[in-house]
A and B are shown apart, each in its own frame.
Chain A
Amino acid sequence: MNNAWQSLISNSWIELAARWILGLTFIYASSHKILSPADFAKIVYGYNLFPVVLINLIAIVLPFMELIAGFALISGIYPRSAAIITCGLLVAFIVALSVNLIRGHEFHCGCFSAGEGGHTEIPEITIVRDIIYFILGLQIILFSGIRRMSIKRLSA
């Protein structure tokens, strides 16, 4: 079993794929939050987990952390650090979703802007998806070879 893990962790093609998948996903995820910060702030409020004074700051800064980390992953700039940031964010998302699942708390403002004219994803699926992304991030962190397609001097 140990050898199988070892070969997965040291596979540079998997590492490259992981960086691209995670990077593109995070860049895409950040886009609507950057374009509509007021709507995202309302979603943050809806989780009912943060002191009210921090809600706007989270809504302003978090999407850019996703964007910069995603960009860093794709271009291979500080890859381990970028992966640590994305894994950290994923842990935060998983915790937030799980806490609200356990509480049975669902925020329905009843508004169109939050997409309640359409449909939203089931939290359990999002949690599973985020765990998978987290595992990809872990591979990037644990990888110790030469990373493909990355900016050589800056690769960690």
Chain B
Amino acid sequence: MVFRKTMKEIIILVGISATLAMAVNFLSPKGIALVGQWDTSKGVITASPTGPQEWKPEEISSVARAKEIFDNGNVLFVDARSQDNYEAGHIPGAVSLPVGQFDELVGSFLDRHAAARSIVTYCSGRTCEDSHHLAQLLYGLGFEHVKVFIDGFPGWKAEGYPIE
């Protein structure tokens, strides 16, 4: 086996791959930052996509604050997780709207809840961006008062708050 020739070929193949990868990442609307935000103490983790940035919902980053909002009443909590997760336990009074089934279920959601309603979405915590996506989808349909409770159901449960 000709070692040096093989090494050269490997370098060429890897070089082409890296160059193509960087070029596509830079040009694609789905491209991501070279370094993402992977620190849960700073918020929900994300690969930091660099594409056209959509509207960003306000985040509720403390569980205590979410409880206050809950106690004040008149806010609809919306669970972005799957039906199974919702049934296993959810924030009292929360409505299930799994983000993966948004298109099917949004019709009946719209029938029951006016666009002026104050909404707080949540999912499984700071490793999950589903609640953000759900918030953006709802905003796109005219819900202007949508926030995201980033610690989600696990955070709520960990504080010992009531669940259903």
Whether, in the assembled complex, A97 has its beta carbon less than 8 Å from a beta carbon of chain B, the answer is: no
In chain B between 89 and 117, which residues have their CB closer than 8 angstroms to a CB of chain A?
A: 98-100
Per-residue CB proximity of A60-82 to B under 8 Å, as 1/0?
Answer: 11011101110010000010111
Instruction: Of the listed stretches B42-50, B53-61, B63-71, B137-145, name the one at the interface; the rest are far from the partner chain.
Output: B42-50
**Min distance, Cβ A109 to any Cβ of chain B, angstroms:** 4
User: Chain B residues with Cβ under 8 A from A59's Cβ?
Assistant: 32, 47
Closest partner residue, chain A, to B83 (CB atom): A117
User: Chain A residues with Cβ under 8 A from B31's Cβ?
Assistant: 37
Query: B21 to A81, Cβ gap below 8 A?
Result: no
Whether, in the assembled complex, A156 has its beta carbon less than 8 Å from a beta carbon of chain B, the answer is: yes
Q: How many B residues face the partner with a CB closer than 8 A? A: 45
**Min distance, Cβ B34 to any Cβ of chain A, angstroms:** 6
Closest partner residue, chain B, to A80 (CB atom): B6
**Min distance, Cβ A149 to any Cβ of chain B, angstroms:** 19
A78-B12 contact, Cβ under 8 Å, with A37-B47, A64-B24, A109-B127:
yes
User: Chain A residues with Cβ under 8 A from B5's Cβ?
Assistant: 156
User: Chain B residues with Cβ under 8 A from A108's Cβ?
Assistant: 124
Which A positions have Cβ atoms within 8 angstroms of B?
Answer: 34-38, 41-42, 45, 52-53, 55-57, 59-61, 63-65, 67-69, 72, 78, 80-82, 84-85, 107-113, 116-117, 156
A-B contact pairs, 28 of them (CB 8 A): A34-B24, A37-B30, A37-B47, A38-B30, A38-B32, A41-B47, A42-B45, A55-B47, A59-B47, A60-B22, A61-B17, A64-B24, A65-B14, A65-B18, A65-B21, A68-B16, A78-B10, A80-B6, A81-B13, A82-B13, A109-B128, A110-B124, A110-B128, A112-B130, A113-B130, A113-B133, A156-B2, A156-B5
